[in-house]
């Protein structure tokens, strides 16, 4: 063991070994892995070792695909047999809605370019796996690149390949403390002495919690117990001349694979059980937890019905081991805000499936400054401090575990960890019928409904369709009010604030009393934000964006901070409402002594206003395409502001509306939103955000990359589609076809209630982007005609919002 390394990776499971390997693969040789026991001693050694192609997040599915490819290569490079069995796999559906979901998922895989999947019927399922009972099955999704590996072999393959490239692996040496030096490097205090490291990676697995606490972090992870059984030899398996495919029974909460001449059956039980929520004991290693058959009896009975041969065979062994889960089941990866040079690679529940992708992404991030793909779904910055609460972790990780194989519908609201954050007027809006969704722990109104109404989860248009239609009509014809507490708000001040914003944002800065749409780019030209910048004219600037990106954006701001600039997240202190519709000015003028006529308060202006008893920071903006005002107020005045606006709007038929209606209204204007049309995986040129870039203003982050894209042309462009759909609408990631060739994919979709049309936005090849181009897409698995239409099909000239 040396006394100094560039990177110390803490944890010798599959994820830590993968990080080590990828660091060396990208050129950093002076790196070490420190393991308290031996490699695999934690979750890795007892893992079932299966790998599957399915993931609800296409970006994470792409990293899983990378891992599967890497598993083939790492054995050859290292000389260690990884025991890879590429058996193929089938996810089966015994429910009509699940079968619809699989048909839709099949098309999503095509969007990602994964072609080795296909839909199969019960007969083909039975042919592929004679052991399975097809009673009640509607079909399945077959994927060629599924199977299983030898967990121990894979970990040792990563580690040996890393050693060959110059890395050091240190076993039997527990890390005791992490102390940061003034130069921001680390003293890694171990049982065998202190190591100085420029960077530290927490790949602690079951011990990630404790390794986080060494630097003052309370990570949102918890171990849960997980059962599987291995049978004695099964005569039907012995008689086969081939290996069985993996089977995932989505309604039965089980997965199955062949184990020698028997079967391995794993269970994701609904009656979940946490284990050592504060982290595993330090002396825990290659051990198991006592099985609890009673707790898994229902799922076990379903599994025995699905595989009747189990009734006549003995069980060789039970495995009940612990795995760490995050609230949404995805890993925790990346740099930690306010803890420089400390990186996470933990919470990786599916380590052998995602470990390769996690290692690749983190190594790219450390060495090159950004990961190649959009991995926000794994980024630790998708959580805030609220997620460190133990009860929140207990509820959300348990919910994910028990729903591991349960489909979540686009319109479904899950209960765990809720309600947590509420806008001050939450109770008053609930009394008026507000139904709530959640974003980053905050309750947001999705629509308003009469007492007793219950929305039914579906992939198609739900029974809330007419409620949303009513809200849209009210906004278009009169005036609507929507709670906008779920906007992030950052205040930028200081003597160098303007120069800093000039460098950070790609747009030209607005004049005092004005606002401007503000694309923010990474150094590679990909998007880092679709913000709105406010110049209040008194030395204060505001940036508004997506509420759930608060930690992500603050990390970015702080990474680029300079002397003379102060950035403060004021999202909890400042909330508000948006007043929008042709009668919005009439309502607002009733409650303010100031002139809000178009001449006095024009489009994209901002200024303080007295609204009733509340001094608001007002902006003339519109996401709906109608005349609109954003009214931002102190949180303690949120209730009274709503009461003032509601009273003034009564004679004008003011209607409160939610974000489902807002989605419909913004689609009719071709207004993109973050995580759909705009992500860190897309560039400004691809998404049309380059129209707001001031290329001639001087240097700004990402300018060279954006200029290069401008010169060569973007590889795809954002268009609006009219879809011939009757009972369902696009939701995102559906493939777009032109004459049988895939030319793009849907970014988001919905129904345009004002136009009476199913609409979608899509990224497509430039050659098929002209209005009038005939295309097609798949809606809930069914191919439907679509055509490119001119952007902003509702009020294309924007006269209503500018008037």
- Which helix H or strand E contains 258, and what residues bound it? strand 254-259
| Alpha carbon distance 646, 219 (integer Å) | 42
Q: Which two tokens stand for residue 282?
A: 């330090």
Answer whether residue 407 shows pLDDT above 80.
Answer: no
Q: Which pLDDT band holds residue 285 (cuts at 50, 70, 90)?
A: confident
| Rg of the Cα atoms in the chain | 27
Give yes or no for a contact between 335 and 343, defined as CB atoms under 8 angstroms apart: yes
Answer whether residue 411 shows pLDDT above 90.
Answer: yes
Give yes or no for a contact between 552 and 473, defined as CB atoms under 8 angstroms apart: no
Per-residue confidence (pLDDT) for residue 188, from 0 to 100: 98
Q: What is the mean pLDDT of residues 631-649?
A: 98
Alpha carbon separation from 278 to 11, 220, 302, 350, 748 (Å, rounded): 17, 10, 33, 20, 39
In a domain, 473, yes or no: no
Bond before 615 cis per omega within 30 degrees: no
pLDDT in tens, 344-402: 999 999 999 999 999 999 999 999 999 999 999 999 999 999 999 999 999 999 999 99
Q: Which residues in 421-540 belong to E strands, given as ranges?
A: 434-439, 442-448, 480-483, 487-493, 514-521, 527-535
Instruction: Return the CATH number at 584.
Output: 3.30.1360.120
Q: 10 Å Cβ neighbour count for 282?
A: 12
Give φ, ψ of 501 to 5 degrees: -65, -40
Angle 572-573-579 from CA coordinates, rounded to 5°: 90
In a domain, 49, yes or no: yes
Residue written as token pair 């980024």:
379
3-state secondary structure of 404: coil
Domain-terminating residue out of 325, 357, 386: 325
| Alpha carbon distance 717, 739 (integer Å) | 19
3-state secondary structure of 591: coil
pLDDT in tens, 208-232: 999 999 999 999 999 999 999 999 9
| Alpha carbon distance 703, 693 (integer Å) | 9
Considering only residues 405 and 95, tell me which one the structure prediction assigns the higher pLDDT: 95
Answer whether residue 59 shows pLDDT above 90.
Answer: no
Alpha carbon separation from 133 to 92, 128, 129 (Å, rounded): 11, 12, 9
pLDDT in tens, 20-30: 999 999 999 99
Domain-terminating residue out of 623, 646, 663: 663
Per-residue confidence (pLDDT) for residue 116, from 0 to 100: 87
- Which helix H or strand E contains 427, and what residues bound it? helix 426-431
Give yes or no for a contact between 238 and 261, defined as CB atoms under 8 angstroms apart: yes
For the chain, percent of residues with pLDDT exceeding 70 = 100
pTM of the model: 0.96
Nearest to 29 by CA among 20, 39, 40, 16: 20
β-pair type (514-521, 434-439): unpaired
Answer whether residue 56 shows pLDDT above 80.
Answer: no
Q: Which two tokens stand for residue 627?
A: 């005349």
Which string of DSSP letters, residue by residue, matches 350-370?
THHHHHHHHHHHHHHHHHHSS
| Alpha carbon distance 738, 777 (integer Å) | 9
Q: Which pLDDT band holds residue 57 (cuts at 50, 70, 90)?
A: confident
Nearest to 630 by CA among 619, 642, 615: 619
Domain span at residue 598?
487-663
Per-residue confidence (pLDDT) for residue 94, from 0 to 100: 95
Per-residue confidence (pLDDT) for residue 704, from 0 to 100: 97
Q: Which pLDDT band holds residue 60 (cuts at 50, 70, 90)?
A: confident
Tell me the sheet residues that pair with 736: 744, 777
Give φ, ψ of 733 to 5 degrees: 75, 10
What average pLDDT does the chain have? 96
Domain-terminating residue out of 613, 645, 663: 663
What's the domain count of the chain? 2
In a domain, 370, yes or no: no
Assign 3-class secondary structure to 272-313.
CCECCCCCCCCCCCCCCCCCCCHHHHHHHHHHHHHCHHHHHC
In a domain, 349, yes or no: no
Beta-sheet strand order (sheet of 514-521)? 514-521, 527-535, 541-546, 487-493, 566-569
Q: What is the mean pLDDT of residues 429-446?
A: 98
Per-residue confidence (pLDDT) for residue 584, from 0 to 100: 98
Instruction: Return the CATH number at 91.
Output: 3.30.9.10
Per-residue confidence (pLDDT) for residue 297, from 0 to 100: 94
In a domain, 75, yes or no: yes
pLDDT in tens, 145-177: 999 999 999 999 999 999 999 999 999 999 999
Q: Which pLDDT band holds residue 543 (cuts at 50, 70, 90)?
A: very high
| Cα of 205 vs its chain's centroid, Å | 21
pLDDT in tens, 322-360: 999 999 999 999 999 999 999 999 999 999 999 999 999
Answer whether residue 14 shows pLDDT above 80.
Answer: yes
In a domain, 336, yes or no: no
Q: Which two tokens stand for residue 653?
A: 């038929």
| Alpha carbon distance 84, 67 (integer Å) | 12
In a domain, 543, yes or no: yes
Nearest to 240 by CA among 134, 127, 89, 146: 127
Please tell me what DSSP assigns to residue 145.
S
Cβ neighbours for 446, distance < 8 A, ≥ 6 positions apart: 413, 435, 436, 437, 658, 659, 660
3-state secondary structure of 91: strand
Can you list the alpha helix ranges (DSSP code H) found in 204-274? 208-213, 235-238
Give yes or no for a contact between 74 and 749, defined as CB atoms under 8 angstroms apart: no
3-state secondary structure of 596: coil
Nearest to 395 by CA among 418, 372, 424: 418
| Alpha carbon distance 353, 63 (integer Å) | 9
| Alpha carbon distance 421, 581 (integer Å) | 28
Q: Which two tokens stand for residue 761?
A: 């936005």
In a domain, 454, yes or no: no
Per-residue confidence (pLDDT) for residue 484, from 0 to 100: 98
| Alpha carbon distance 201, 334 (integer Å) | 9
| Alpha carbon distance 715, 349 (integer Å) | 35
pLDDT in tens, 551-605: 999 999 999 999 999 999 999 999 999 999 999 999 999 999 999 999 999 999 9
Q: Which two tokens stand for residue 370?
A: 């950004």
Give yes or no for a contact between 736 and 723, defined as CB atoms under 8 angstroms apart: no
Torsion of CA 253, 439, 663, 626, to 10 degrees: 170
For the chain, percent of residues with pLDDT exceeding 90 = 94
């Amino acid at each position: 063991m040396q006394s100094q390394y560039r990177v110390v990776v803490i944890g010798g499971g599959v994820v830590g070994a993968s990080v080590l390997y990828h660091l060396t693969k990208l050129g950093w040789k002076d790196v070490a892995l420190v393991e308290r026991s031996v490699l695999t001693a934690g979750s890795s050694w007892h893992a079932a070792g299966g790998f599957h192609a399915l993931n609800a997040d296409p970006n994470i599915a792409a990293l899983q695909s990378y891992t599967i490819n890497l598993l083939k290569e790492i054995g050859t490079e290292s000389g260690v047999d990884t025991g890879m069995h590429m058996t193929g796999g089938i996810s089966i559906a015994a429910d009509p809605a699940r079968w619809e979901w699989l048909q839709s998922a099949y098309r999503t895989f095509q969007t990602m370019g994964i072609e080795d999947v296909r839909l199969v019927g019960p007969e083909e399922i039975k042919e592929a796996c004679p052991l399975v009972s097809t009673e009640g099955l509607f079909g399945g999704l077959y994927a060629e690149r599924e199977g299983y590996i030898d967990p121990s072999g894979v970990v040792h393959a990563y580690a040996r390949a890393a050693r060959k490239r110059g890395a050091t692996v240190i076993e039997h040496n527990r890390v005791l403390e992490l102390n940061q030096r003034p130069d921001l490097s680390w003293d890694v205090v171990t049982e065998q002495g202190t190591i100085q490291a420029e960077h530290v990676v927490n790949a602690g697995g079951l011990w990630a919690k404790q390794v986080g606490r060494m630097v003052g972090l309370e990570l949102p992870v918890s171990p849960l117990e997980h059962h599987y059984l291995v049978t004695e030899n099964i005569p039907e398996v012995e008689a086969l001349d081939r290996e069985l495919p993996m089977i995932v029974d989505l309604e039965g909460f089980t997965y199955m694979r062949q184990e020698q001449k028997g079967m391995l059956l794993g269970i994701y039980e609904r009656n979940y059980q946490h284990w050592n929520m504060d982290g595993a004991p330090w002396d825990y290693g290659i051990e198991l937890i006592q099985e609890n058959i009673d707790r898994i009896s229902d799922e076990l009975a379903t599994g025995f019905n699905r595989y009747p041969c189990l009734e006549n065979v003995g069980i060789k062994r039970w495995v009940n081991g612990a795995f760490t889960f995050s609230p949404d089941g995805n890993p925790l990866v990346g740099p930690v805000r306010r803890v420089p040079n400390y990186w996470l690679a933990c919470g990786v529940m599916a380590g052998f499936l995602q470990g390769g992708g996690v290692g690749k992404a983190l190594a790219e991030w450390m060495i090159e400054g950004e990961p190649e793909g959009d991995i926000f779904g794994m980024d630790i910055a998708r959580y805030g401090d609220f997620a460190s609460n133990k009860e929140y972790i207990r509820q959300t990780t348990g919910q994910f575990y028990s729903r591991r194989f349960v489909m979540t519908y686009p319109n479904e609201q899950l209960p765990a960890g809720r309600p947590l954050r509420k806008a001050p007027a939450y109770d008053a809006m609930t009394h008026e019928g507000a139904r709530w969704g959640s974003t980053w722990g905050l309750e947001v109104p999705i629509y308003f409904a009469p007492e007793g109404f219950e929305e039914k989860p579906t992939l198609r248009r739900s029974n809330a369709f007419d409620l949303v239609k009513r809200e849209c009509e009210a906004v278009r014809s009169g005036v609507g009010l929507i709670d906008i507490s779920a906007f992030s708000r950052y205040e930028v001040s200081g003597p160098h604030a303007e120069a800093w914003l000039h460098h950070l944002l790609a747009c030209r800065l607005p004049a005092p009393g004005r606002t401007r749409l503000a694309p923010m780019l990474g150094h590679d030209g990909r998007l880092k934000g679709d913000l709105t910048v406010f110049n209040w004219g008194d030395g204060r600037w505001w940036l508004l964006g997506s509420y759930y990106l608060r930690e992500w954006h603050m990390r970015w701001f702080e990474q680029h901070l300079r002397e003379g600039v102060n950035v403060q997240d004021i999202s909890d202190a400042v909330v508000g409402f948006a007043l929008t519709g042709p009668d919005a000015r009439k309502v607002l003028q009733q409650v303010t002594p100031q002139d809000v006529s178009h001449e006095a308060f024009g489009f994209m202006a901002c200024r303080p206003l007295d609204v009733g008893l509340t001094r608001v920071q007002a902006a003339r903006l519109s996401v709906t395409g109608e005349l609109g005002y954003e009214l931002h107020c102190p949180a303690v005045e949120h209730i009274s502001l709503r009461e003032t606006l509601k009273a003034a709007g009564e004679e004008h038929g003011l209607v409160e509306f939610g974000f489902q209606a807002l989605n419909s209204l913004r689609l009719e204007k071709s207004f993109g939103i973050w995580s759909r049309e705009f992500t860190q995986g897309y560039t400004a040129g691809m998404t049309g955000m380059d129209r707001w870039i001031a290329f001639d203003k001087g240097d700004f982050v990402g300018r060279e990359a954006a200029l290069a894209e401008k010169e060569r042309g973007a590889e795809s462009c954002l268009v609006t589609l009219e879809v011939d759909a009757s009972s369902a609408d696009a939701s995102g990631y559906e493939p777009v076809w032109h004459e049988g060739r895939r030319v793009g994919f849907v970014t988001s979709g919905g129904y345009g209630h004002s136009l009476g049309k199913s609409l979608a936005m899509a990224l497509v090849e430039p050659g098929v982007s002209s209005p009038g181009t005939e295309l097609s897409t798949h809606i809930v698995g069914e191919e439907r005609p679509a055509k490119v239409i001119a952007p902003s099909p509702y009020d294309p000239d924007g006269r209503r919002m500018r008037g």
